[in-house]
Amino acid sequence: AGSYVHLYDGEEIIGAVVRTRSHVSPVYVSVGHRIDLETAIRYVMACCKGYRLPETTRYAHRAASGEQLVRGAEQQSLFDLS
């Protein structure tokens, strides 16, 4: 868990294949606006909280599926990587 390999298009690095947990399918991470690949990988790993997918992706999937989300729960900072 926590390991990754670069994803290439020819000789260009276009992302990373990240293993967020042991014995699960990897997550594909790419750069975004004003974020480099290594930082994106750190954010993904910090947001996984014991699951394969980051919390932000899990919540979006649950909301799109019509699942009632907990209201009033304390939200942790996305940027606290400690």
pLDDT, tens only, 61-78: 888 888 776 665 566 666
* Whole-angstrom distance, CA of residue 12 vs CA of residue 26: 20
Query: What's residue 82's pLDDT?
Result: 60
Residue 25 identity (one-letter amino acid): S
Q: Tell me the pTM.
A: 0.71
Cα angle value 20/25/30 (rounded, 5°): 65
Q: pLDDT tens digits, residue range 2-21?
A: 899 999 999 999 999 999 99
With contact defined as beta carbons under 8 Å apart, do 29 and 16 qualify? yes
What does the domain layout of the chain look like in residue ranges?
3-64
pLDDT at 32 over 90: no
